[in-house]
Amino acid sequence: KETLDKGLEKTKTNFLSKMSKAVAGKSTVDEDVLDELENVLVSSDVGVATTIKIIKRIEERVARDKYLGTEELNGILREEIAGLLSETDSGEGEGFNFNTEHKPFVIMVVGVNGVGKTTTIGKLAHQFKQEGKSVLLGAADTFRAAAIDQLQIWADRTQVPMVRQQMGSDPASVAFDAVQSGVKQNVDVVIIDTAGRLHNKVNLMNELSKVKKVMQKVIPGAPHEVLLVLDGSTGQNAFEQAKQFTAATEVTSLAVTKLDGTAKGGVVIGISDQFKIPVKYIGVGEGLEDLQVFNKLEFVDSFFK
């Protein structure tokens, strides 16, 4: 909880100072204030479509109550954003729903290079181990030697086994080996890293579907989660990547990283609303412990405290 507040400090300070400017010298929420509010939300990376929805909700509220004082605006906004997020099935603060029927539980991790995919895998491995689960990693991003070595560093740090092959080998073959080792070693969770190249949609689609298919030869229902990692500090780029990856494969969960160094944390609200895919984790730093299980209401609250 403390880390969450610390992690979102920039977003919050930026947001609250814009909010107070938006209502400066105004006692009532009128058209001007609503216009200002719209600017605040868009410039906080909430995204245009979600901003429009939120503004509409506030307008309805003003129409219904006839009068809305500016001093009440933060509270109302908090309620309306929370209400909007409640309509999506985003994180309730539980992370992955581990089903004990699935052993190993297989997680395929996708996302563009540099978004924090490797770091997120390391943090997840650490978290699962803390919960008493055994973990195995598969280094199926075979395109870059650095990707394999980076993941190895996290495997060593968290003391979990990792299946790897040399650079340039077939990602599907690594995924197959990893899932098979996971079964043989009777581990609880297998996490597979995948290549973060975005040559084009067809290429990405083919590669991911091939990796998925070989996993299914070992475990018919695998992967049990496809986690897309997005860099929250890139704001609207994260939206674009979410669009591309959801078109290429069935993404079941999202992790939004780097929320600590950025004022663009509002992107989580927009992405959660637009994609209807649960945000399960957020990254709030570079360390092992800096991955939070996402809880949408806590997240919204932390903006207004």
Annotated binding site: 111-118, 193-197, 257-260
The amino acid that residue 276 corresponds to is K
Minimum CB separation from ligand GDP for residue 157, in Å? 12
Site for ligand GDP in 252-291 (CB under 6 A): 257-258, 260-261, 283-286, 290
220: preceding bond cis by omega (within 30 degrees): no
**119 counts as binding ligand GDP under rule CB under 6 A:** yes
Give the footprint of ligand GDP on residues 131-170 (CB under 6 A). Answer: 150
Q: Give strand pairing partners of 189.
A: 105, 135
Annotated binding residues for GTP, written as ranges, equal 111-118, 193-197, 257-260
Of residues 35-74, those binding ligand GDP (CB under 6 A): none
Token pair in block for residue 110? 């996708």
Pick from 67, 186, 193: nearest CA to 133: 186
Nearest residue (beta carbon) to ligand GDP: 283
Q: How far is the CB of 261 from ligand GDP (least distance, A)?
A: 5
Query: Exactly one of 47, 91, 95, 116 binds ligand GDP (CB under 6 A); which one?
Result: 116
Measured CA to CA in angstroms, residue 267 lies from 41, 167, 242, 299 at distances of 10, 35, 12, 12
Q: Which is nearer to ligand GDP, 194 or 274 (CB)?
A: 194
Look up tokens 């993941």; give the residue: 151
> Of the candidates 133, 116, 114, which has an alpha carbon nearest to the alpha carbon of residue 125?
133
Amino acid occupying residue 220:
P
The residues that touch ligand GDP, with contacts defined as CB under 6 A, are: 111, 113-119, 150, 196, 257-258, 260-261, 283-286, 290
